[in-house]
Amino acid sequence: MLAASPMRAEESSHQTLVVRADPRTGRLVRSVVLTPAPAPKFQTKSAKDFSEMVDHAAKANDVDPLLVHSIIKVESDYNPYAISRKGAEGLMQLTPSTARMLGVANSFDPQQNIEAGVKYLKYLQRVYKDDRLALAAYNAGPGAVEKYKWIPPYPETQNYVYQVGKRYGEARKAAAENAPAPEPAAVAPPVPDNVEERHPKVEQFVDENGRLHLRTTQ
């Protein structure tokens, strides 16, 4: 897990002046109490916040960006600091071992996370030749898919494949409906039947030096 940078006490806590009566003497005693500062709230992100990163990584690996967005939505709901119960981290929920394998230095860096996640997804697509199995392996690990030769009978994995597939199908349908209609092809106007094709006539003539010439006449 990424360690937070150290902060000074006055930056990470609030000082509160407290005045109490000493129960033995009855005199007022002042003391300073340090209370932890409230944790910063995570600002909700959306697909458009990471669209450029997703498009770049998807294009580099020949993966549909709509599928990548569907995975991120189900995995982390676009929270770059998300951590699962099993320790998967970031937008595409990379496990520490997968992150190390892919050379990720910081799983909470959106660009590193997305680039590695898409690269790993493409690898699984090449191995299984089926997006359903690739998604199952992304969630449960390739070993589980190899063991059962299909989507493992784990409720979490089966629900994961269903949820990602459902969102991906909806995204593709919406993209198709919003795509601009193709422009009609240009069609040459018909030639009227009563129009005759006219070509210039060519005649030959020989000059006084005996050379043959060609010329057109109307």
Which residue has 């006449």 as its token pair? 217
Least confident of 40-54, 62-76, 107-121, 155-169: 40-54
Q: CA 39 to CA 42: how far, in whole Å?
A: 9
- Cβ count within 10 A of residue 154: 14
Catalytic site residues? 75
How does pLDDT run across 80-124, given as a tens digit for each residue?
999 999 999 999 999 999 999 999 999 999 999 999 999 999 999
Question: Which amino acid, 61?
Answer: N
Q: Looking at the whole model, is its pTM more than 0.85? A: no
Q: CA 57 to CA 72: how far, in whole Å?
A: 13
* Angle, CA 139 vertex, CA 134 and CA 141 arms, to 5°: 75
* Angle, CA 61 vertex, CA 106 and CA 163 arms, to 5°: 75
